[in-house]
Amino acid sequence: MNLKALSIDDEKFNLMLIEAMGAEIGIDVVSFTDPRKGIDAFRSDTFDIVFIDYMMPEIDGITAIQHIRSIASDIPIVMITAVDDNSLMLRAIEAGATEFLRKPVNMPEFKARTGNLLQLRKSQLLLKDRAKLLEDEVRKATEKILAREHETLVILGRVAEYKDQETGNHIARVAHYSRLLAKKAGESAESQDIIFNAAPLHDIGKIGISDFILTKPEGLDIDETGLIRKHPEIGYMILKNSESPFLQAGAIISLTHHERYDGCGYPNGLKGEEIHLYGRIVAIADVYDALFSKRPYKNPWPIENIFEYLSNQKGKHFDPNLVELFLKSKEELRAIHALFTDN
Ligand SMILES: [Fe+2]
Ligand SMILES: [Fe+2]
């Protein structure tokens, strides 16, 4: 690919000269007699080097260089001048000129000075290319790691639910419903990501509950219910000291997903917004999915009945605003369910 030069000079003859010399060393030169048009062209196109005459009517070379520099800081600018004046050269350098050519420009000097600059420009482009390539690679690798991390957390969540005879994609769906609700609640992309990765851990504390109680087919007595109600704190204890924002949020979610908006939940009887937003969100997602799924002891509820139930529980079990947002998301909820059906 040829490099491309912008050439600005009020005299056509000089432009033709630069074009001819440019062609000689393999650069395409785009020429302008009007500096303003030249600067506009520079703004809208990509150039690898700029040649600017000093003496031009209306806009002089120094001003033109300042304009070009304000658009691009890393393109070499060559000032071509008949004036032999050190202070002018100094001003041009201050304005951002990289190199000078004196009129009349001759081929050997043009070749030598421009050749160096173009060599630099080529390495610059190569570096940029390589940096871009690396950036792409890093982005892809990061995405892969994040996807794997999420998968690991989902599997960890499933381990706990498996003890409870909850199989299938409950955990994956709860993660997606929770992220959706966090988005509807106006949470940042980062926060949505955190709840997406932390929600799978809501029942991780069931690992610490005996299988005998978890799988008991008939009703539980008071002591047994008390033991099952320990799972939020057990999960919290397991996760709380992690430095990972996902696991930290998992600890909060584990501890708060059975709290109720009216303060009648467990383990701490927290009320309203005392319950962390993540806990209030996962509570809705978890109950919604449980009602919508087949369990050994129940058939799936029709969605209308679930919506009615959630609506009735506004301000009782659930945060009324979050329920409102959830009920408005029927299509998205269905789409998530279709993606993660239970086989
Ligand atoms: Fe739970
Ligand atoms: Fe659950």
Q: CATH no. for residue 334?
A: 1.10.3210.10
138 located within any domain = no
The ligand with the least distance to the CA atom of 255 is: 1
pLDDT digits (tens, 9 = 90+) for 202-256: 999 999 999 888 887 778 888 889 999 999 999 999 999 999 999 999 999 999 9
Report the number of secondary-structure helices (H) and strands (E) in the chain. Answer: 15, 5
The total number of structural domains that make up the chain: 2
In terms of domains, do 174 and 282 share one?
yes
144 located within any domain = no
159 located within any domain = no
In terms of domains, do 326 and 184 share one?
yes
The ligand with the least distance to the CA atom of 199 is: 2
Provide the residue range defining the domain that includes 31: 3-133
- Report the CATH number that the domain containing residue 69 is assigned in CATH: 3.40.50.2300
Report the separation in Å between the CA atom of 143 and the middle of ligand 1, taken as the mean of its atom positions.
30
In terms of domains, do 111 and 197 share one?
no
Report the separation in Å between the CA atom of 175 and the middle of ligand 2, taken as the mean of its atom positions.
10
Structure-token pair, residue 45: 């196109």
- pLDDT at residue 44 above 70? yes
Q: Which of 94, 111, 133 is the last residue of a domain?
A: 133
In terms of domains, do 173 and 98 share one?
no
In terms of domains, do 173 and 115 share one?
no
In terms of domains, do 78 and 189 share one?
no
The ligand with the least distance to the CA atom of 206 is: 1
Question: pLDDT tier at 167 (50, 70, 90 boundaries)?
Answer: low
The ligand with the least distance to the CA atom of 253 is: 1
| Dihedral sign computed on CA atoms, order 132, 135, 137, 143 | negative
To the nearest whole percent, how much of the chain has pLDDT over 90?
76
The ligand with the least distance to the CA atom of 170 is: 2
191 located within any domain = yes
In terms of domains, do 318 and 192 share one?
yes
CA distances from 305 to 103, 109, 335 (A): 87, 85, 19
Question: pLDDT tier at 16 (50, 70, 90 boundaries)?
Answer: very high
Q: What is the pTM of this model?
A: 0.69
Top-confidence range, 48-62, 80-94, 155-169, 258-272 = 258-272
In terms of domains, do 123 and 185 share one?
no
| pLDDT given at position 342 | 80
152 located within any domain = no
Residue pair 52/78 in contact by the 8 Å Cβ criterion: yes
Report the separation in Å between the CA atom of 171 and the middle of ligand 2, taken as the mean of its atom positions.
7
The ligand with the least distance to the CA atom of 229 is: 1
C-alpha 100: how far from chain center? 44
Residue pair 259/275 in contact by the 8 Å Cβ criterion: yes
Report the separation in Å between the CA atom of 48 and the middle of ligand 2, taken as the mean of its atom positions.
59
In terms of domains, do 128 and 184 share one?
no
Q: Which amino acid is at 91?
A: R
In terms of domains, do 53 and 108 share one?
yes
| pLDDT given at position 343 | 66
In terms of domains, do 307 and 177 share one?
yes
Rounded-to-integer distance, Cα 224 and Cα 210, Å = 10
| Dihedral sign computed on CA atoms, order 155, 159, 161, 166 | positive
The ligand with the least distance to the CA atom of 203 is: 1
Report the separation in Å between the CA atom of 154 and the middle of ligand 2, taken as the mean of its atom positions.
11
In terms of domains, do 129 and 195 share one?
no
Residue pair 97/8 in contact by the 8 Å Cβ criterion: no
Report the separation in Å between the CA atom of 232 and the middle of ligand 1, taken as the mean of its atom positions.
7
Average pLDDT estimate for 174-185? 98
Report the separation in Å between the CA atom of 211 and the middle of ligand 1, taken as the mean of its atom positions.
15
Report the separation in Å between the CA atom of 304 and the middle of ligand 1, taken as the mean of its atom positions.
24
